Each structure stands twice: as structure tokens, then as C-alpha cells.
């Protein structure tokens, strides 16, 4: 536990110092929260989903976040193009396969993105990652079903990591971060996070910002600690949820929502050391 907490705490200040630009093609239901979440941690968001624009924007970005929450044929085309441009420029791409397994269109979009784009991190729930792994899933819309949550989520996350040569962030009651060899469990968070739309979308964008810093020239790309980056971003949302509930949770979901952005904006490296609850293992 102490090792991963130290790696996260060492990486955390660089997000505010470097203010990475994260290009988001994301869910229009949650796009405002995604932008504000990135701003709260010191990153810089840019929301661009038109095919004529994404070429230039992806090249400018420090990371590209592809989220299929409210997908349509136009944005799927833009996602595929932005992902390919980012790959060509060695810019990390993050995938949020929202609702994968729920519809033919989502399934086809995710499958095509995985065929055409190399992802640095895939962030999803047990149902979404179960579909990506080729399993039968019973997704509940954009949420994981109880049946899928009850799977061996560590093995599931590792299977996806191996299959796609990526780092996986499986979020749920216990979050699992793995590259197929190293695995970190994260026990931070609060149930009220499920009562506010967009917390998953924001988490994926935070992963983009953290991965961008880990891959930056300052930290030398060949030594990028994507495990610490993904674990840091995911535990950041969990810790922020705990802080937000302590501050405003009893007032209701609206106050909790505002307090969540406040908490993201004030988290320090010490918080990861003092509040982070991690379990770590090697295969």
C-alpha cells in the first residue's frame, strides 16, 4: 500500500504544475462536469467533436478522452479519427466505453475503436469491461448490473489488459487498476457518487490528465508510470467523494455535487498518503 501511495503522491503535484490539455469527445449530458472537473485539478479541457476540428485539436492535446456516453454516427467517426491522429503523434488516448453491451450500436462502436486505436487506459465498469473481454453481460443501461459486479473483477480487468496491451481501470464498489501484471485495488469512494450523473465521465477525463503528466517529457515517456497515473485519478475521485459527503452530503445531492468539485480542487499529495486506501499485488 505504501509504495503505490508514494508513487501517486509524487505524481499528483505535476498535474497542477503542467496543466495538461485534455481533448474530450465526451458525453453531452456530462460535458460541463467533465470540463469543470478537469479545471478543478488544474488541467485544461477542450471539448471538440467535429471531424473538421478534431485533427488539429488532437495534435495540440496532451491526452485524448473518448467517451461513447451519448454517441452518434458523426461523433464515432470523429473519435476514430482523433484516436488515430493521437496514436500517430504518441499522445495517450483514454477510452470510456459507456454502456458497452447495452446496444448493437454501442457494441459496434467500441469494437471498431478497439480495432483501430491503441488505448493507454480503458476505464469502465464491470459490465462494460465484461463486454470488451468477450463475456455475456447483463448491463443495466450505462450502469453495471449486480450480476456483473459479482464477477472476479480482478481477473476480468487483467484479461482486458492483456488482450489490448493496455492499463485497465475497472471502477465499482472496489476499484481495480491493472496492467495485467501489477494490480492495485482502491477502496476509496462514497455511495453518494452514484447519485450524481457524470462522476464516471469525470473520472475518465481525470485519468487523461494524470496519464498525460506521466507521459510528459518532464517525467520521461519511457519511464511513464501509467499504473500510478490511473490509480491516482481514480482514487482522487474516491477521496473527493468522501470529502464532499463529509462537507455537504447530509444536505442532499445538489450540495454534494458542488462540494465534489470543491474537493477535487483542494486535494493535495498528502491526502493520497493519509486517506488513500490501496491494496497492491503482483501476478
Contact 236, 264 (CB under 8 A): yes
Between the alpha carbon of residue 10 and those of residues 108, 219, 224, 262, the distances in Å are: 39, 11, 13, 22
pLDDT tens figures, 243-264: 999 999 999 999 999 999 999 9
C-alpha span between 184 and 229 (Å, rounded): 12
Q: Sheet holding 121-124: strands in order across?
A: 44-47, 21-25, 63-67, 93-96, 121-124, 167-170, 175-178, 182-186, 278-282
Sorted by sequence, the CB contacts under 8 Å of residue 257 that are 6+ apart come out as 196
Contact 201, 95 (CB under 8 A): no
Query: What is the spatial distance between Cα 154 and Cα 190, in angstroms, rounded to a whole number?
Result: 21
Average pLDDT over residues 64-91: 96
Question: What percent of the chain has a predicted confidence (pLDDT) above 90?
Answer: 86
pTM score: 0.94
Rounded Cα distance, 71 and 142, in Å: 12
Position 136 scores a pLDDT of 74
Half-sphere exposure of 275 (CA within 13 A, CB side): 19
Give residue-wise pLDDT tens across range 95-119: 999 999 889 999 999 999 999 999 9
Contacts for 150 with CB less than 8 Å, ≥ 6 apart: none
Cα 31 versus chain centre, distance? 14
Q: What cell numbers appear for 184 in the block?
A: 492495485
Per residue in 30-40, pLDDT (tens digit) is: 999 999 999 99
Q: In angstroms, what CA-CA distances link 174 with 65, 199, 208?
A: 23, 15, 21
pLDDT category of residue 224 using cuts at 50, 70 and 90: confident
pLDDT, averaged across the chain? 92
DSSP assignment string, the chain: -HHHHHHHHHHHHHHHHH--EEEEE--TTTHHHHHHHHHHTT-EEEE---HHHHHHHHHH-SEEEEE-TT--HHHHHHHHHHHHHHHHTT--EEEE-TTTTS-HHHHHHHHHHHHH---SEEEE-HHHHHHHTT-----BTTB--HHHHTS-HHHHHHHHHHHHTSEEEE-SSSEEEESSSEEEEE----GGGGGSTTHHHHHHHHHHHHHHHHTSTTT-GGG--HHHHHHHHHHHHHHHHHHHHHHHGGG-HHHHHHHHHHHHHH--HHHHHHH--EEEEE-
Q: For 134-187, how does the pLDDT look when each residue is reduced to its tens digit (9 = 90+)?
A: 987 665 555 555 555 557 899 999 999 999 999 999 999 999 999 999 999 999
pLDDT in tens, 194-215: 999 999 999 999 999 999 999 8
Tell me what pLDDT residue 49 has: 96
What percentage of the chain reaches a pLDDT higher than 70? 92
Amino acid at each position: 500500500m505504501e509504495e503505490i501511495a508514494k508513487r501517486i503522491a509524487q505524481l499528483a503535484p505535476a498535474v497542477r504544475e503542467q496543466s495538461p490539455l485534455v481533448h474530450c469527445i465526451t458525453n453531452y449530458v456530462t460535458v460541463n462536469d467533465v470540463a469543470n472537473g478537469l479545471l478543478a485539478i488544474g488541467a485544461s479541457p477542450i471539448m471538440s467533436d467535429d471531424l473538421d476540428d478534431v485533427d488539429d485539436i488532437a495534435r495540440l492535446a496532451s491526452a485524448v478522452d473518448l467517451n461513447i456516453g451519448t454517441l452518434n454516427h458523426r461523433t464515432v467517426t470523429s473519435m476514430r479519427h482523433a484516436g488515430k491522429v493521437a496514436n500517430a503523434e504518441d499522445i495517450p488516448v483514454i477510452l470510456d466505453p459507456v454502456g458497452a453491451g447495452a446496444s448493437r450500436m454501442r457494441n459496434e462502436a467500441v469494437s471498431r475503436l478497439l480495432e483501430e486505436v491503441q488505448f493507454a487506459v480503458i476505464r469502465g465498469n464491470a459490465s462494460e469491461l465484461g463486454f470488451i473481454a468477450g463475456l455475456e453481460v447483463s448491463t443495466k443501461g450505462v450502469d453495471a448490473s449486480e450480476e456483473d459486479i459479482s464477477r472476479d473483477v480482478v481477473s476480468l480487468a487483467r484479461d482486458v489488459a492483456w488482450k489490448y496491451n493496455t492499463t485497465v481501470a475497472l471502477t465499482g464498489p472496489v476499484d481495480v487498476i491493472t496492467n495485467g501484471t501489477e494490480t492495485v485495488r482502491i477502496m476509496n469512494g462514497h455511495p453518494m457518487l452514484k447519485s450524481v450523473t457524470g462522476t464516471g465521465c469525470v473520472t475518465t477525463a481525470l485519468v487523461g490528465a494524470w496519464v498525460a503528466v506521466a507521459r510528459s517529457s518532464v517525467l520521461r515517456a519511457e519511464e511513464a508510470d501509467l499504473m500510478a497515473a490511473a490509480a491516482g485519478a481514480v482514487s482522487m475521485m474516491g477521496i473527493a467523494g468522501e470529502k464532499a459527503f463529509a462537507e455537504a452530503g447530509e444536505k442532499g445531492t445538489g450540495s454534494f455535487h458542488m462540494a465534489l468539485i470543491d474537493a477535487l480542487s483542494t486535494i493535495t499529495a498528502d491526502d493520497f498518503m493519509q486517506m488513500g486506501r490501496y491494496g497492491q499485488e503482483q501476478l
